[in-house]
Structure 1
Amino acid sequence: MLLFDDTPWVQNGVSYGDTAIQAMEDLMSLLERAPKTSHIADIEAIPVPTHDEYARQRFCSLLRRHAIQEFPAALEADFNERVAPALKAQGETLDNWRAVDKALRGENLYRFYSTLRYNAQEMCFLSVQDEVERALPEMIEVVRAAVDLNPAGGSLALSLDFEIPPYVTALDVHLTPGCFHTEYTADDVAQAAVISLGSRVFTAQQSHRSWGGVAKVVSRWIKHEYPDLQPKRMLDLGTTSGKNLLPYVEAFPGVEAHGIDVGAPLLRYGHALAEHAGVPLHFSQQNAEKTNFPDAHFDLIVSSFFFHEVPVWATRKILAECHRMLKPGGLIVHQELPAHDLVDVWENYFWNWDTRNNNEPSYTAFRDQDPIELCVKAGFDRENSFALILPDVGAYPDRSNAFAWEEPGRPRHGRGGWYVFGSRKAF
């Protein structure tokens, strides 16, 4: 113990100074030189909204839920009961989503719906900006500590001369101010925090995007359908902050989990989250069109909500890259939006609204593709490829297999089920 007088402090035969004060100074010096193993703070707990900010966020959640759920049902009813009969009486054919879009474009209810939905989308991300700005210096310190201490043993690889694809830099995807990649200061994570916290507002605290809900569905299905597949190394494309990776690590103990993205703020944030959680995730800033991973490097490659945000030409390159990186017998499973020919006219119209109004210009072009054909052109065998609706864990906890397309009562994507496509590489 330290004695607060002139008695020298001696322990294990070593003198730490002539006085207790000197002993304390020597002890602090030892601690500074000691291996760094301290705990990494939870970066997501640092931004704290004020009472008014929280109230605003709750309002934004309710407004967007109304705009994305209740209001579309009212718009569909108005279309079926008023707009469509009048147009059909004039000889119009409403057998595809473009015809529906054209019919509604001048309707006041559609214009009000689009205005509400657009602004609700923007407001979700704007509602968290103030708390993120206040907390940014502290969050950056956590990011730096995660890199310095690295207690979980993960990794973070960024590139100073990395070229962000123009289809990312050209606009704010999802109406998120600053998109995925913008940096305002050294070691910035502002965009990652806005996206992560804003997504909680966006989804009204639902877990399917923010906390790896899709990964729980997909990993459960993989274990059910491919019990022989025991992935040793896996990759998540467009990983953002890596939350979609965590459930795979839990589902497949010992898997070496990698995540790539073009946005450095997202990867810094994800590394801090993983190191806080004690999970060794490996993040690197890469374009999925061409990576630096070796041939046949992964047993499993996944993504969620990714392909509809890149042009179709890039999709083809990415799937070919997946084929190159995948081991024989390896699996790709990509959660996405259902193709046009798999859903009805109104659902097609509902999804494609985002192409024009949500800064996602590749949305419709991607959905025009046959996902199985995309896999085949990338080098996968047609018989090993699939496009399925998987049961949501929350809605169907006891069901691990996929819904049949013709199954009565099959849920829509996002409403009890998740659409995935992919393939298994030939052995």
Structure 2
Amino acid sequence: MASNAPLDRRNSVIPDIETLARPTLEERGRQRFCSALRRYAIQDMPEMLKRDFDARVKPQRAAKGEALDDALAIERAMKPEASYRFYSTLRYNAQEMCFLSVQDSIERALPEMIEVSREAAARNPAGGSLRLDPALEMPRYLTTLDVHLTPGCFHSEWVEDDVAQGAVVSLGARVFSATMSHRSWGGVARVISRWIKHERPDFRPLRILDLGTSSGKNLIPYVEAFPGVEAYGVDLAAPLLRWGHAVAEHEGIKVHFSQQNAEALDFPDGYFDLIVSSFFFHEIPVKATRKVLAECRRLLRPGGMMVHQELPATRLVDAWEDYFWNWDTDNNNEPFYTAFRAQDPIALMEAAGFDRTRNFAQILPDVNAYPDRHHAFGWDEPGRPRHGKGGWYVFGSSLPL
């Protein structure tokens, strides 16, 4: 006989927090529209803009004796053009709309989401952990702007044990990238782990650390790639960590999340075999980057590796691609974007104590675009893909045994 009594979740698995926001038909339609608009703005419109630059703007400027041979010169030339203004306006609004499109369904489900997060933290059925530090000082580079145009940024908390920003970032990013679940994320981790296995088939990391882990979407695939590894993810934002912990515990994946500033971590020296990150360093000032890399050197054991997926350095791309990447500096609330890309990652790692001869910066093949290719592309290799279009830019180093 069926019972109408509420489910006693204390005796059940952790519910799937990702499914609790239930958009209405109208909301789902809006999200799909935002996905399509954002994809058009980031993929199709830049090609149209480039054609307009090559066919019209560049010849006109050349006739006036102007040499558009660097990103700044191209920016000055394109800024007043109608084609750029339309592109930039559409791209900005598409970015913002992706996160706004999920807020209504999140607000309705927030009490239930918080309950699930609390349950995960109390029970830890997968064996993971969640360690928060309410006294941790948030750096100004996090609190000054809503990074990525995400309302409330990553760290804001509106109620006790809040997960709202974790939901906005996670579910908004699905709309942003037109993916349906965290299982379709983690592409960076799959690319890097495949490359590591190819380069070092005997490498068996015991502990892995993901810097700026957010909700762990690019950490969980490493646990699957290296069975038995102890996985640790650090981030400044408690709502993201609560969300990610609930996801991992529901999936039965053991991850240790902690709220820390990657500039000064509390792990002992030589604690990790593998240190990774994805889209992290361009979000922080260069002076913070130097501290984080010094921490990586301290925390890495002999024989260990670090691999950071990032945006390609300025010196490695042509003037137009450099101009394209730098759009986010002024328009997407990512003020350190250009300054980070202007650095030489090899030199940054050397300054942090890594051996220059063991440092690398290269393009790894995307798993979907090159399913049979496991080794990195050479910079001078004909047909080498661009970052984000068939390949992923990474930099890193390793320590000798």
- Smaller-chain TM-score range? over 0.9
Percent sequence identity over aligned pairs: 68
Q: Which amino acid aligns with 2:274?
A: L
Aligned partner of 1:63 among 37, 60, 73: 37
Deviation string, structure 1 residues 83-126 (Cα, Å, up to 9, x no partner)? 00011111111111110000011111111111111000000000
Aligned partner of 1:242 among 202, 216, 227: 216
Hey, what does 1:140 align to over in structure 2?
114
Hey, what does 1:352 align to over in structure 2?
326
Cα separation, 1, equivalents of 2:288 and 2:76: 29
Please list every run of at least 4 consecutive aligned residues from structure 1 whose deviation after the TM superposition is greater than 6 angstroms.
206-210
Cα separation, 2, equivalents of 1:180 and 1:209: 21
Instruction: Identify the range of structure 1 (202-211 vs 50-59) with the bigger mean alpha-carbon deviation.
Output: 202-211
Q: What SS is found at the alignment partner of 2:386?
A: coil
Q: What SS is found at the alignment partner of 1:253?
A: coil
Gap change, CA 1:210 and 1:196, over 3 Å in 2:
farther
Cα separation, 2, equivalents of 1:37 and 1:206: 29
Aligned partner of 2:143 among 166, 169, 172: 169
Cα separation, 1, equivalents of 2:349 and 2:183: 25
Q: What SS is found at the alignment partner of 2:209?
A: strand
Cα separation, 2, equivalents of 1:144 and 1:335: 32
Hey, what does 1:54 align to over in structure 2?
28
Hey, what does 1:418 align to over in structure 2?
392
Gap change, CA 1:134 and 1:207, over 3 Å in 2:
closer
TM alignment of 1:255-270, pairs within 5 A = 255-270=229-244
Hey, what does 1:41 align to over in structure 2?
15
Hey, what does 1:301 align to over in structure 2?
275
TM alignment of 1:24-423, pairs within 5 A = 38-205=12-179, 211-423=185-397
Conserved? CA contact 1:118–1:358, under 8 Å: yes
Conserved? CA contact 1:245–1:259, under 8 Å: yes
Q: Which amino acid aligns with 2:202?
A: D
Cα separation, 2, equivalents of 1:286 and 1:209: 26
Rg (Cα) greater in structure: 1
Cα separation, 2, equivalents of 1:315 and 1:147: 31
Q: What SS is found at the alignment partner of 1:217?
A: helix
Conserved? CA contact 1:380–1:426, under 8 Å: no
Conserved? CA contact 1:196–1:210, under 8 Å: no
CA RMSD of the aligned region, Å?
1.7
Q: How many residues align?
A: 396
Conserved? CA contact 2:360–2:397, under 8 Å: yes
Cα separation, 2, equivalents of 1:39 and 1:206: 22
Cα separation, 2, equivalents of 1:374 and 1:211: 29
Q: Which amino acid aligns with 2:16?
A: D
Cα separation, 1, equivalents of 2:164 and 2:229: 30
Q: For residue 424 of structure 1, report the CA deviation from its aligned partner.
A: 0.2
Cα separation, 2, equivalents of 1:37 and 1:156: 20
Q: For residue 426 of structure 1, report the CA deviation from its aligned partner.
A: 3.0
Q: Which runs of 5+ in 2 are unaligned?
A: none
Q: For residue 166 of structure 1, report the CA deviation from its aligned partner.
A: 0.7
Q: Which amino acid aligns with 2:327?
A: W
Cα separation, 2, equivalents of 1:164 and 1:209: 30
TM-score computed with the length of structure 1 as normaliser: 0.91
Cα separation, 2, equivalents of 1:206 and 1:324: 38
Gap change, CA 1:256 and 1:41, over 3 Å in 2:
same
Hey, what does 1:15 align to over in structure 2?
none
